[in-house]
Amino acid sequence: MRDEETRDPVEQLQMPGMPSPGPAASSQNVAPGTEVLYTGYFSGGPRHGARGVIKRASDRRAFVDMGRSGLWHIPYYFLSVHSKAA
């Protein structure tokens, strides 16, 4: 029996005050008005964990209003759909 077959699934620890990312954003699950969470790290870009609202969605990236951080074209792999309950 291999070691991987006996291991428990790994979960990310939740830290108080840290936003929990929702499902990954894609062109199929976002529309204008959808609130998203920026999960990327990019020098000169929005800060990690910033929330924004989709203004326009395309196949590979979204045009997101990040409030004080401005308007950004962000690839979907840097976004997750923000849960209203969080």
Instruction: Give me the pLDDT at residue 42, please.
Output: 84
AA letter at 49? G
How far apart CA 77 and CA 32 sit, in angstroms, is: 17
pTM, two decimals, is 0.68
Q: Are 57 and 30 in contact (CB under 8 A)?
A: yes
Domain 21-81 grouped into CATH 2.30.30.140 = yes
Average pLDDT (8-37) is 76
pLDDT digits (tens, 9 = 90+) for 28-55: 888 899 999 998 888 888 998 899 999 9
Q: Domain limits of the chain? A: 21-81
Highest mean pLDDT among 11-15, 17-21, 27-31, 33-37: 33-37
